[in-house]
Amino acid sequence: MSVTFIDIEDENDVGQRIDNFLMRRLKGVPKQKIYSILRKGEVRVNSARVKQTYRLQHGDHVRIPPVTTRTDVPARLNEQTEAVLEASILFEDDDFIAINKPHGFAVHGGSSIASGVVELLRVMRAQPRIELAHRLDRDTSGCLLLCKKRGVLKEVQAAFRERRIKKKYTLIAAGLWPTKVRTVQHRLLRYVTDWGERRVRIDAAGQVARTDFQIQQQTQEATLLQATLHTGRTHQIRVHAQAQGHAILGDTKYGKQDIATDAQRLCLHASRLVVPLGSDRLDLSAPVEATMQQIWQQIQSRHEGAPTPVEPNL
């Protein structure tokens, strides 16, 4: 392997942060490694060291050191996986592709996952510039938006930063959710456990986070809820639900392990995503996955009488 030199001439690269540029170029390289070579000055722009926040300009000359990647092996895509992803597509045009992400699919590859949704869709569409507009946890299903063009991606990311995106989730929480608890506001702080796992806890030093909850159906055992995010913090809904003493069913990170449940998955689903686009908007809705529907039906069947539905205020 040898040093690589790249001249920034593609308009899709201009204005992009150097760390994001490297992540796209060096697929399969852990983020920690990318930030390490930036800190050590092994990456140079016009022969000078740059910070991770540096935004590329037209004509920049970028030096990339030799690093070990997994990109020599293309994303593995079998017929079954391709069929599942094709069936999950909610919307597609020249700018976007939106899917109802199945539970258990990572959105991108990592240290233990060779290929995620974004890598697989790049192969399926033969479009290497497809990028994630946002992220969902591997165990969360629902609306996932990807962009096919750099300019569109920047517009959508700006809307996320400015909190102009509307995000609604469907979840099943343990126990009888109190009707008076409609808004939960706790600051959230990210941290790493002793065994290296990323987690979030309520902490006064954390970032502001607000979640609105609305009851849809209830039994004594569990509650079907809709959650509206006003901020997009890591694991926000999961931690806010757990803080009320009603953890999401199937949540192995924040839930109580002694709760009897049919859940073989995290019962959290991104049901709606509304993205403003100039004078228009992209309004996506994803039906709740069959596995989560079955869990709720099994809970209902254990209780006499059908609970009265409450129409969500969309």
Catalytic (active-site) positions: 137
Residues 6+ apart with CB under 8 A from 204: 187
Burial tier of 238 (Cβ tally within 10 Å: 0-12, 13-18, 19+)? buried
Burial tier of 162 (Cβ tally within 10 Å: 0-12, 13-18, 19+)? exposed
Measured in degrees and rounded to the nearest 5, phi and psi for residue 263 equal -70, 120
Structure-block tokens of residue 160:
């996320």
Nearest alpha carbon to residue 247 among 300, 197, 172: 172
Helix (H), strand (E) at residue 127: none
Report the alpha-carbon distance of residue 93 to residue 123 in Å, rounded: 17
Dihedral class, residue 128 (left if φ above 0, else alpha if ψ from -120 to 50, else beta): alpha
C-alpha distance across the termini of the chain, in Å: 54
Burial tier of 155 (Cβ tally within 10 Å: 0-12, 13-18, 19+)? middle
Measured in degrees and rounded to the nearest 5, phi and psi for residue 307 equal -65, 150
Residues 6+ apart with CB under 8 A from 201: 188, 189, 191, 239
